[in-house]
Amino acid sequence: MPISMYTASVPVFIKTLGNMAKWLDKAEAHAEAKKFDPAVYMTLRLAPDMLPLPSQVRIASDAAKGAAARLAGMEIPVFEDNETSIAELRERIRKTLAFLESVPAQAIEGSEEREIVIPARNREPRRMKGEFYLKHWALANFFFHATTLYALLRHNGVELGKADFLGAID
């Protein structure tokens, strides 16, 4: 039986977003144990020209909800990009999870050939078929930003390991 577009997308996003929320919990616990303000995390970058930690969570959230909505032919929920604390980032993850859990599997099934249009600044929008979009754009973008969040926290002393990234294997 072929893999389904739904099972290759929404459950993957849900699991990793849940893991990301746990990483943020560990970051707060780390700050408390080391006696520093967790707000320090909000300015972290791996390089001067990269977006800071909050942007990594925002873009991973946008990638997940955008992919599910586009594949399902639904409107993409818009969240304000104004999180200024770990708690607000966790709330964004919670809202993203709530949206993903509301997307009916049957709306995504059969979206392999659906035309997906990605708006672009200063150029024509990108157009691709649903399967290509999921495999080569949406998942890659989502995991790039999830991995960057993980790396930022790990690099700054939060005790995270591969098991935290992968999460429970059900």
Q: How far apart are CA 154 and CA 81, in angstroms?
A: 24
**3-state SS, residue 13:** helix
Residue 168 lies in a domain: no
Task: Indicate the DSSP class of residue 46.
Answer: S
Residue 165 lies in a domain: no
Q: How many domains does the chain have?
A: 1
Residue 38 lies in a domain: yes
Q: What CATH number should be reported for the domain holding residue 125?
A: 1.20.120.450
Residue 166 lies in a domain: no
Q: Which domain holds residue 37?
A: 10-159
% of the chain exceeding 70 in pLDDT: 99
In this prediction, residue 120 carries a pLDDT of 87
- Predicted confidence band of residue 54 (pLDDT cuts 50, 70, 90): very high
pLDDT at residue 1 is higher than 80: no
Residue-wise pLDDT tens digits, 139-170: 999 999 999 999 999 999 999 999 999 998 76
Is the CB of residue 149 less than 8 Å from the CB of residue 56?
Answer: yes
Instruction: Record the tokens describing residue 116, joined without a space.
Output: 């997906």
Residue 48 lies in a domain: yes
Instruction: Record the tokens describing residue 119, joined without a space.
Output: 């708006």
Q: Spell out the residues 6+ positions from residue 44 whose beta carbon is closer than 8 angstroms to its own.
A: 52, 53, 152, 153, 155, 156
Residue 2 lies in a domain: no
